[in-house]
Structure 1
Amino acid sequence: MKTNRGRFFEDYTIGQVIAHAVPRTVSGGERALYHALYPARGALYSSDAFAQSCGLACAPMDDLIAFHTVFGKTVPDVSLNAVANLGYAEGRWLRPVFAGDTLRAVSEVIGLKQNSNGKTGVVYVRTRGLNQRDEPVLEYVRWVMVRKGNPDAPAPDTVVPDLAGAVPAKDLVVPEGLDFTRYDFSEAGEPHRLGDYELGEQIDHVDGVTVEEVDHMLATRLWQNTAKVHFDATNREDGKRLIYGGHVISLARALSFNGLANAQMIVGLNAGAHVSPLFAGDTVRAWSQVLDIAPTAAPGVGAIRLRLVAVKHGTPAFSLKGADGKYAQGVLLDLDYWALMPL
């Protein structure tokens, strides 16, 4: 049999290392498509001249281009038979990705837990993305619910990794040479610097995007994500194609420009949960909350920790969880990340 049915839950073992196929060279084409798919307009990613004024050689790829590219490499080996991608932790962007870089991915299985229904289980993997010089560009942990191919296969010993609740600010990696002392706020689009934000502050990003089938299908193909739930409408009982969670992340991040235009680079992914499914025809809106603020050693550069929440249109502003601790209806994404911002 020459075709690949993908791995099922019983095919994973603790400590298993998977080198994912098909490295990918990224270019200005990925940047143009990314900015066409999402309302992304961060100045550092849009202008070589702006990036050079901030100490970089040229404009890097958007951080989520690197994330989606590396994530896409892992799908045939980790989540081809997934029911859902569940969450993220311990993510760090370790160096910028520039046009012409070639990315590949390697994952290690660090946790397994069969679900009580005996039909599915949760697989935890730590993934690293590397460039053509074998330099790590990012790393993260994710966990995904995967179907069993053989329901009678014995359950593995349960191993749930002990994951950090957040990446410590001291462990964030600031790109070499980054310098915000000559940062041009007028070109960036907003005057707000790190000191203008307060802990606990909530920001309604106001705008929304209605998702169409063509948008998310193009995005999923762009990142070479082959998960069946995104392509094959017969794979789900409701006959719908599930929108890739990364598409929701990029939509929400792009919407956050209105209020957080100067949160220029993502450097840490503390936690994340895809709370509920999104389908074509739904409209996504977003809000953020400031969780922490920290200095860095780079000139003029600080770090801001943000909770980014994506919701369906019609969900009340700043909805998150009820008194019972459960997510409110309409919440799509709960993402906790660090970004760099001028002081």
Structure 2
Amino acid sequence: MSKTNPGRFFEDYHIGQVIRHAVPRTVAEGERALYHALYPARHALYSSDEFAARSGLEGSPLDDLIAFHVVFGKTVPDISLNAIANLGYAEGRWLRPVWPGDTLRSESEVIGLRQNSNGKSGVVWVRTRGLNQVDEVVLKYVRWVMVRKRDADASPPDAVVPQLAGAVAADDLVVPEGLSFADYDFELAGEPHRWGDYAVGEKINHVDGCTVEEAEHMLATRLWQNTAKVHFDATNREDGRRLIYGGHVISMARALSFNGLANAQMIVALNAGAHANPCFSGDTLRAWSEVLDKAETDAPGVGAIRLRLVATKGDSADFVLKGEDGKYDPQVLLDLDYWALMPI
């Protein structure tokens, strides 16, 4: 009897199935240091205990995307080990900050299944929750992934495609307890632009670029314990190239967006996301953002801003997203729709 696990294939999933993912992980300042070494991340709330304390928090929490990567990475052996592609995200909400010393674990529920027309693969939708050591949900989101079938002749399941919200409602955003931007230091944060300075429809070219290297991508996937074969095994693809983990592109684009959005301090919701085209080592990432919506919150001096973040390996100054056919431009790598908190 084999003691190794080849991972789940499409026919191994069923609606309502709940998977508790191994292995819980305690995160600490080491994760913060490595995250800031991998990405040019400079948002002040996640860089300085003093800045965070001035903003009403007990100290600097770990970057919101550290929580995302850790929770996501736990799910890979059960959800996307045999994936062809990670297709999208929806209904993501950050519910509590993650602090150094917290222990995170993940669990997912299968909420949708649909076999592809080629009969060789199918799409699996899961709702994932990340929980801390006292079983508080810190993060939850839906994602869908294309997974290979073990047996192309296996009978397909009845198709169930979940109806997902187009965006998290502003009223459902969770502002961390105690957060206040009433005494916000714009000079130390890096830019003077506040919530009121941004207009819906405005587009921002983040100017800077960063070339993705194989070494940093492999360090990232190991750090987040993401074991998907397409990221690790160069023989897994016919072209012999390892696919850059989509979360690596998200974090790089978010870090590049500091130039123009330095005061978009905390990500609190993930409305939608698509990895539009594959990213490979040697690609140079640039980014631009579009302001989609704005909302006030009940927290002192805190506003919410909804942003579309686009990562591209082309010119970010032309703001190209899709062609006339409605398909993503070949240079677009990421299309991410999220809510962030910003001083009013």
- Given the two structures, how large is their TM-score scaled by the length of structure 1? 0.99
Counterpart code for 1:100: G
- Map 1:107-126 onto structure 2 (within 5 A): 107-126=108-127
Distance 1:328 1:75 in 2: 28
Report SS of the residue matched to 2:218: helix
Structure 1, unmatched stretches of 5+, are none
CA distance in 2, matches of 1:113, 1:276: 22
Question: Does the 8 Å contact 2:314/2:332 carry over to 1?
Answer: no
Equivalent position of 1:139 in the other structure: 140
Contact 2:108 2:127 in 1 (8 A): yes
Counterpart secondary structure, 1:21: strand
Q: What's the CA shift for 1:329?
A: 1.7
Equivalent in the alignment of 2:239: 238
1:33 maps onto 2:41 in alignment: no
- List gaps (5 residues or longer) in structure 2: none
Aligned match of 2:289: 288
One-letter amino acid of the structure 2 residue matched with residue 261 of structure 1: A
Q: Distance in 2 between matches of 1:79 and 1:92?
A: 21
**Which residue number in structure 1 is paired with residue 191 of structure 2?**
190
Task: Give 1:314 deviation, angstroms.
Answer: 4.4
Name 1:255's counterpart in structure 2.
Answer: 256
- SS of the residue aligned with 1:71? helix
Q: Is the CA contact 1:282–1:313 (under 8 Å) kept in the aligned structure 2?
A: no
Checking the alignment, whether the CA contact within 8 Å between 1:120 and 1:145 is kept in structure 2 is yes
1:140-159 residue pairs with structure 2 within 5 A?
140-159=141-160
* SS of residue in 2 equivalent to 1:195: helix
CA distance in 1, matches of 2:148, 2:41: 35
State the AA in 1 paired with 2:137. P
Distance apart, 1:313 and its partner CA: 3.2
* Deviation (angstroms), 1:179: 0.4
Cα distance between partner residues in 1 of 2:319 and 2:8: 39
- Post-superposition Cα deviations, 1:262-297, rounded to whole Å, max 9, x if no partner, equal 000000000000000000011000000000000001
**Does the residue aligned with 1:234 lie in a helix, a strand or coil?**
coil
1:315–1:331 contact (8 Å) kept in structure 2: no
Question: What whole-Å deviation, never above 9, does each CA across 1:18-69 have from its counterpart, x for those lacking one?
Answer: 0000100000000000000001000000000000000000000000000000
> Which AA in structure 2 matches 1:133?
V
CA deviation map 1:284-312 (0-9, x unaligned): 00000000000001010000000000000
Query: 1:316, CA displacement in angstroms?
Result: 5.9
Aligned match of 2:310: 309
Match of 2:101 in 1: 100
What amino acid does structure 1 have at the position aligned with 2:105?
R
Q: Using a 3 Å threshold, how does the CA distance of structure 1 residues 339 and 316 change in structure 2: closer, same or farther?
A: closer
3-state SS, counterpart of residue 235 of structure 2: helix
Whole-Å separation in 2 of the counterparts to 1:239 and 1:145 = 20
Alpha-carbon distance in structure 1 between the residues aligned to 2:330 and 2:315:
10
Deviation at 1:315, TM superposition (A): 6.4
Aligned-residue RMSD, C-alpha: 0.7
309-318 or 236-245: which moved more?
309-318
The CA deviation string for residues 130-172 of structure 1, in whole angstroms up to 9 with x for no partner, is 0001000000000000000111111000000000000000000
Alignment pair present for 1:212 and 2:213 = yes
Q: Which amino acid aligns with 2:164?
A: L
Q: SS where residue 106 of structure 2 aligns?
A: strand
Q: Distance in 2 between matches of 1:66 and 1:89?
A: 16
Distance 2:297 2:307 in 1: 16
The aligned counterpart of 1:332 is 333
Question: What's the offset of the Cα at 1:324?
Answer: 1.7
* CA distance in 2: counterparts of 1:242 and 1:313, whole angstroms: 18
Contact 2:205 2:316 in 1 (8 A): no
Give a deviation string over 1:204-242, Cα, whole Å, max 9, x none.
000001000001000000000000000000000110000
Instruction: Tell me the SS of whatever aligns to 1:236.
Output: coil
Shift of residue 317 of structure 1? 2.1
**Contact 1:315 / 1:330 at 8 angstroms: preserved in 2?**
no
**Cα distance between partner residues in 2 of 1:327 and 1:230:** 23
Deviation (angstroms), 1:322 = 1.6
* Count of aligned pairs: 343
Q: Is the 2:25–2:104 contact (alpha carbons within 8 Å) kept by the matching residues of 1?
A: yes
What's the counterpart of residue 275 of structure 2? 274
* TM-superposed deviation, 1:327: 0.9
